[in-house]
Structure 1
């Protein structure tokens, strides 16, 4: 199956250079959202386990793709908020004048 076919089936479209990887550890299946790197292969940005209670395999994979992208976006938002708070690290001592 190609990325185009997966997106046509309902998986979120990914930016250029990004792809989905479906893996198995023998007990469960996992969908990963990955980005190609210039060196050393690819980097994982998000993941989701594939649920086996879906109607069919493709539906299960597409649902996991959606969940993996949603999880990745939530994680990105979390780190953006942390960076925003980190700007204010330091002492706020009223005795200190600038």
Structure 2
């Protein structure tokens, strides 16, 4: 991962890593952000990149890392917002009662 970060990919916290693999179609790669578990890992963010749209292979992978990282952070922000709104779950009486 140090090579990718040096090339411009976002750095991940401890326990997370990037996985780069071929996508289902030729000329595409899939980059995922994964969280290490005791047994295996779990995908937390994903990006699919067309190799022909990048200047070279490294910049394609770095772009995939950036997009996968962004999607992971957006999902985390959404999850946090869901946790904060739980205080408002339930019926609300317009007269002030619950």
The TM-score normalised by the length of structure 2 is: 0.85
Matches within 5 A, 1:34-53: 34-39=34-39, 41-52=40-51, 53=53
Q: Where do 5+ consecutive residues of structure 2 fail to align? A: none
Matches within 5 A, 1:62-77: 62-77=62-77
In 2, Cα distance between equivalents of 1:71 and 1:92: 34
Contact 1:51–1:64, Cα closer than 8 Å, also in 2: no
Report the CA distance shift for 1:31/1:96 in structure 2 as closer, same or farther (over 3 A): same
Q: Give SS of 1:90's match.
A: coil
Q: Where do 5+ consecutive residues of structure 1 fail to align? A: none
- Please report the RMSD computed on the Cα atoms of aligned residues, expressed in angstroms: 1.7
1:55 aligns with 2:55: yes
Report the CA distance shift for 1:10/1:95 in structure 2 as closer, same or farther (over 3 A): closer
Cα offset, 1:10, TM superposition: 0.7
In 2, Cα distance between equivalents of 1:54 and 1:95: 58
Aligned length: 94
